């Protein structure tokens, strides 16, 4: 499929703002939700449109190849549902043992989070990390090597 090929489906929003999927067989699915197949390790990769019953309605192997309009609707819906701030700097940590309160600067502003244990930091591949706070919110570090020197030193104490 290229950006110029006709799609075997269409997406639109209904009057209530829900996504409506129309498939090539003529069926309509109201309230579908896009779900990334690998949200942490391949966030730009394959995704599924899932119905309100939790069943997959459509698999999209390469969302980047969709026409701009369909891709835009899906990306807009994903942005509404996902909350994964990216840690850009570690400003301070309360202690080098857990529980530890971290003050961090993210792509969404400065915040504090509490790390309950060292298991709350997971490697995602390469030097990408996922830091999960005491409330279950996942903060991503896209590439720990690109953090400033002080941030890397603080982080190394927990790895």
Mean pLDDT for all residues in the chain: 89
Torsion of CA 84, 20, 50, 38, to 10 degrees: -40
Q: Where are the domains of the chain?
A: 9-81, 87-156
- Residue carrying the six token digits 């209904």: 14
Please answer whether residues 52 and 35 qualify as being in contact, where contact means their C-beta atoms are separated by less than 8 angstroms: no
* Per-residue model confidence as pLDDT tens digits over 63-77: 999 988 888 889 888
Average pLDDT over residues 80-91: 87
* 8: CB partners within 8 A, 6+ apart: 23, 24
Tokens of 53: 């019953």
Tokens of 10: 């269409």
* Per-residue model confidence as pLDDT tens digits over 104-117: 999 999 999 999 98
Please answer whether residues 31 and 39 qualify as being in contact, where contact means their C-beta atoms are separated by less than 8 angstroms: no
Q: Whole-model pTM? A: 0.59
Q: How far is the C-alpha of 145 from the C-alpha of 159, rounded, in Å? A: 13
Tokens of 77: 């819906």
Q: How far is the C-alpha of 21 from the C-alpha of 41, rounded, in Å? A: 27
DSSP string, 136-147: S-EEEES-GGGS
Tokens of 113: 């989070």
Residue 100, pLDDT > 80, answer yes
């Amino acid at each position: 499929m290229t950006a110029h090929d006709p799609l075997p489906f269409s997406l639109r929003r209904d009057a209530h703002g829900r996504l409506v999927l129309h498939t090539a067989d003529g069926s309509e699915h109201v309230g579908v939700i896009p779900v990334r197949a690998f949200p942490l390790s391949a966030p730009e990769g394959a995704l599924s449109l899932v119905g309100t019953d939790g069943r997959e309605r459509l698999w999209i192997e390469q969302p980047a190849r969709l026409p701009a309009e369909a891709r835009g609707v899906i990306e807009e819906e994903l942005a509404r549902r996902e909350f994964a701030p990216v840690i850009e700097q570690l400003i301070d940590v309360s202690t080098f043992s857990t529980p530890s309160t971290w003050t961090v600067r993210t792509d969404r502003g400065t915040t504090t989070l509490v790390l309950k244990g060292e298991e709350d930091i997971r490697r995602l591949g390469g030097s990408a990390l996922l830091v999960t706070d005491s409330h279950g919110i996942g903060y991503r570090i896209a590439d720990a090597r690109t953090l400033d020197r002080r941030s890397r030193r603080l982080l190394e104490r927990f790895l």
